Amino acid sequence: MSGTAVSTPARSAPQAAPGSGFRVRPGHSAWARRRDRRGLAFVSPFLVAFTLFMIVPLAYAIYDSLFTSRIIGGTTFSGFSNYTQILTSGMFWSGVVRVIIFGAIQIPVMLIIAFFFATAFDLGVAKYGRSFRTIFFIPFAVPVVVAALMWGFLFEPVYGPFSHLANLFGFHNVDFLSSGLMLPSIIVIAIWEWTGYNSLILYTALRSVPRDVVEAAILDDTPLWKIIVKVKLPMVRPAIVMLIFLNTIGALQLFVEPLILNNYSAGVVTLNWTPVLYIFNTSINSAQYNLGAAMAVVLGLVIVAISVTSLLFRRDRGEVS
């Protein structure tokens, strides 16, 4: 490109290299190395942004979490005291337990529904599969804040249509947003929000199961449920494991739904209802930034631990290439 000075590079360069003065790895020509330096040029814009907005904040949060600031006495180094405070207080862990319960119910229920519909669409045993797939996917385009606002209106205890409905069925004065029913209500919202997306991914995975495998099973007179459970399910298991993993990371960060629903039913959602809510309230609302940073680090570690465990589990089963 840059004028006539550039000669067409020799493609089989290793033999040509000895005279050029620098060591060349076999099979890796000077030309190829120059080219690969350009590879770094393609990657570097992302790397700069990644460093500034991912690595630096994480490092700074870890640094910040080792200090304590007081109104009198200023900011002093306090080692791991923030961490011992978090790990020994029940406030943080009660939130962790709540989001684990949330995930333990929401994720299996959602995945079963998603797999059910994905299978039905894949086999073509339900009519109008295309339209249903599109409809089920709509909630993915609804911001979680707006989803929580809409469901808040529907669940509202005095005027909301759902409590009217419950009345019709003989359940009087049901408050879907009371402290006892808040978590189940949020589970319903999360299922509404994410089932279509999960179902679409499972559907795509099911489509990639080779057709002849299924045909062979049919010719053997294998009943349909057996084809689904014994043939299709094992072949999409990597996809299911990955969805469990992604949904778990999401569930542990539950934040927006309880924060918004609290507007409809003040006082039910406590400051430490979920870990991220607790981080938010500790740092932004109470200005205890060092403690908040330590919590962010602990939450990050908990999530990494759970993710790595699930990946190791997957490796044990020989599913990672």
- Distance of closest approach, residue 258 Cβ to another protein, in angstroms: 12
Helices (H), the chain: 30-50, 56-64, 81-88, 90-123, 129-137, 144-155, 161-168, 182-207, 211-219, 224-226, 233-235, 237-252, 256-261, 275-280, 289-316
Establish if 79 lies at the interface with another protein (CB under 8 A).
no
Kindly state the smallest distance separating residue 102's Cβ from another protein, in Å: 14
* Residue in 22, 77, 159, 169 binding another protein, rule: CB under 8 A: 159
Our finding on whether 166 is near another protein (CB under 8 A) is: no
Residue 285 φ/ψ, nearest 5 degrees: -85, -30
Residues 39-78 that bind another protein (CB under 8 A): 39-43, 45-47, 49-50, 52-54, 56-58, 60-61, 64
Residue (100 or 123) nearer to another protein, CB: 123
**Footprint (CB under 8 A) of another protein, residues 234-253:** 238-239, 242-243, 249, 252-253
One residue of 102, 176, 194, 203 binding another protein per CB under 8 A: 203
Contact 278, 255 (CB under 8 A): no
> Which tokens belong to 32?
């190829």
By beta-carbon proximity to another protein, the closer residue of 72 and 141 is 141
- Site residues for another protein, 82-141, by CB under 8 A, read 113, 116-117, 120, 123-130, 132, 134-141
For residue 198, which of 140, 122, 135, 120 has the smallest C-alpha distance? Answer: 140
Q: Of residues 277-306, which lie at the interface with another protein (CB under 8 A)?
A: 279-280, 283-284, 289, 292-293, 296-297, 299-300, 303-304
With tokens 């060349």, the residue in question is 24
Contact 255, 276 (CB under 8 A): yes
